[in-house]
């Protein structure tokens, strides 16, 4: 247990910014720990989780002091909900890290599946002779050149060091910094080698001997992608007081619930065919924690869903992030329908990164039910394209979920005919 936490005067906005950034970093680090089987990364998650416990208590104290009337209480209630949701995300990330740290056990196929979970996530220490050393992220311009993003920087060692989440273009990369890199595997391999001076050695894919176990592992990877997307959209819903984004969060959470049900069925079937069913405990713990993350995303957007005005302190905290999240319907009269994201050079023309596509009606029937669906409902794999690539075809009626600047969002709307 930690020591006593006492009230300290602090900006509610600054506390919420740190809560948001740290919670998102925790989720990224926890899955990185699983991917690499890294005790060191798992320890980092657990250390940050303790920091989150202090942050959320200080945030609650600050918000309680700010409520002086029923009107204040009504406007601050959703803010307390955001604090509670970030705490849930933090606890879930800790549960995922403990699978590694406590050797709970995972199927070998898990490390082979997570690299296919939309993007690879790796951690590397910057060597002094790297061409990135002593340059700013803006100067390096990694994402434009490679598709890889530096989502956090660890500066210093041990308790004296700390993570810098969401580094901006002005952040200078220093020798001995630890960089958390996220992006397509092909891009990550080259960037990792430039950062560390050594070749990237990805986890070797392992085909499970039991087919149902393979399906269970794949469903966990998809749950991870959808939960992370739900969190992004939830913050976007809060920032723009956007009912549409909030409803997308609810839809994603329902898809994650459906995947969890299928995961449980496949895991129980697999348990009868493997020598040591106890080895599936870690996989089940990760699936449960991942579902909690999607539930937390709904809680973040709860105020929007219930028609409560988003408190200005939350809007300012979310706005402090460099990126915004938008929802753009694709109209029949735009340039996108019938083409691919690569053909239209969407990222280059708008500056927006498409993080997901929710499919509209199927082109042949006009029905939302797609081939292979059951009971008239599409599977999550049919309904969503998570982290689409340049080869992804866009159709009229689709909804694009994108990250980028406000000016880029307007360009994307024009391109989509929204």
Distances (CA, A) of 415 to 164, 325, 343, 363, 392: 35, 17, 13, 20, 16
Cα–Cα distance for residue pair 409/387, rounded to 1 Å: 17
- Sorted by where each begins, the domain ranges of the chain are 12-107+208-317, 114-196, 323-416
pLDDT of residue 370: 36
Question: How many other CB atoms sit within 10 Å of the CB of residue 170?
Answer: 9
Distances (CA, A) of 121 to 31, 36, 151, 190, 191: 8, 9, 10, 13, 12
- In terms of CATH architecture, what is 114-196? 2-Layer Sandwich (3.30)
Cα–Cα distance for residue pair 322/338, rounded to 1 Å: 31
Q: What is the pTM of this model?
A: 0.71
Biggest CA–CA distance in the chain, Å, is 63
Beta bridge partners of 178: 125, 154
Residues 260/223, Cβ–Cβ less than 8 Å: yes
Q: Which CATH superfamily is domain 12-107+208-317 in?
A: Phosphate transport system protein phou homolog 2; domain 2 (1.20.58.220)
Same fold? 12-107+208-317, 323-416: no
Q: Which parts of 241-280 fold into alpha helices (H)?
A: 243-271
**Alpha-carbon torsion angle 284, 252, 245, 341, nearest 10:** 110
Residues 289/33, Cβ–Cβ less than 8 Å: no
Place of tokens 């005790």: 39
- Burial status of residue 204 (CB atoms within 10 A of its CB: 0-12, 13-18, 19 or more): exposed
Among candidates 66, 89, 54, which has minimal Cα distance to 312? 66
Among candidates 102, 133, 129, which has minimal Cα distance to 34? 102
Residues 375/332, Cβ–Cβ less than 8 Å: no
pLDDT of residue 115: 47
Among candidates 349, 329, 325, which has minimal Cα distance to 404? 325
pLDDT by residue for the chain (418 residues), tens digit each? 456 666 666 677 778 778 888 888 888 888 878 877 778 788 888 888 888 888 888 888 888 887 778 877 777 788 888 889 999 999 999 999 998 888 777 766 565 555 444 567 788 899 999 999 999 988 888 877 787 888 888 887 654 467 787 787 888 999 999 888 887 777 888 999 999 999 987 765 555 556 787 788 888 888 888 898 888 888 878 777 778 888 889 989 999 999 999 999 988 888 888 877 887 888 899 999 999 999 999 998 888 888 776 667 666 666 665 567 788 899 988 888 888 888 888 888 887 888 888 887 644 434 333 333 334 455 666 678 877 878 889 999 998 988 877 778 888 988 888 7
Question: Can you tell me whether residue 322 is helix, strand or coil?
Answer: coil
Class of the CATH domain delimited by 323-416: alpha beta
- Burial status of residue 353 (CB atoms within 10 A of its CB: 0-12, 13-18, 19 or more): middle
Cα–Cα distance for residue pair 116/107, rounded to 1 Å: 16
């Amino acid at each position: 247990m930690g020591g006593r936490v006492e009230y300290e005067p602090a900006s509610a906005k600054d506390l919420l910014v740190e809560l948001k950034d740290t919670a998102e970093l925790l989720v990224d680090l926890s899955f990185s720990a699983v991917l690499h089987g890294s005790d060191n990364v798992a320890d980092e998650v657990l250390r940050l989780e303790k920091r989150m416990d202090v942050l959320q208590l200080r945030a609650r104290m600050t918000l309680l002091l700010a409520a002086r009337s029923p009107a204040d209480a009504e406007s601050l209630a959703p803010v307390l909900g955001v604090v509670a949701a970030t705490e849930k995300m933090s606890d879930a990330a800790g549960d995922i890290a403990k699978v590694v740290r406590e050797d709970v056990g995972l199927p070998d196929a898990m490390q082979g599946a997570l690299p296919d979970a939309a993007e690879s996530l790796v951690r590397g220490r910057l060597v002094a002779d790297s061409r990135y050393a002593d340059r700013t992220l803006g100067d390096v311009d990694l994402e434009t050149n490679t598709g890889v993003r530096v989502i956090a920087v660890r500066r210093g060692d041990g308790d004296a060091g700390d993570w810098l989440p969401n580094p901006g273009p002005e952040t200078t990369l220093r020798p001995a910094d630890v960089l958390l890199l996220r992006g397509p595997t092909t891009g990550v391999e080259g960037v990792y080698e430039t950062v560390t001076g050594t070749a990237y050695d990805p986890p070797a894919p392992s085909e499970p001997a039991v087919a149902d176990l393979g399906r269970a592992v794949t469903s966990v990877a998809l749950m991870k992608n959808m939960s992370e997307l739900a969190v992004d959209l939830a913050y976007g819903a809060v920032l723009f007081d956007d009912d549409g984004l909030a409803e997308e969060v609810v839809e994603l959470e329902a898809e994650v619930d459906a995947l969890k049900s299928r995961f449980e069925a496949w895991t129980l079937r697999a348990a009868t065919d493997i020598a040591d069913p106890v080895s599936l405990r870690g996989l089940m713990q990760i699936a449960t924690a991942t579902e909690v993350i999607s539930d937390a995303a709904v809680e973040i957007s709860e105020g929007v869903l219930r028609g409560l005005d988003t408190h200005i302190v939350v809007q300012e905290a979310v706005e402090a992030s460099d990126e915004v999240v938008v929802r753009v319907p694709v109209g029949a009269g735009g340039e996108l329908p019938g083409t691919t994201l690569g053909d239209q050079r969407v990222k280059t023309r708008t500056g927006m990164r498409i993080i997901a596509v929710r499919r509209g009606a199927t082109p042949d029937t006009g029905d939302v039910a797609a081939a292979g669906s059951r009971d008239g409902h599409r599977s999550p794999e049919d309904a969503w394209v998570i982290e689409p690539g340049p080869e992804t075809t866009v159709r009229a009626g689709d909804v694009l979920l994108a990250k980028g600047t406000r000016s880029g969002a307007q360009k994307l709307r024009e391109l989509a005919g929204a």
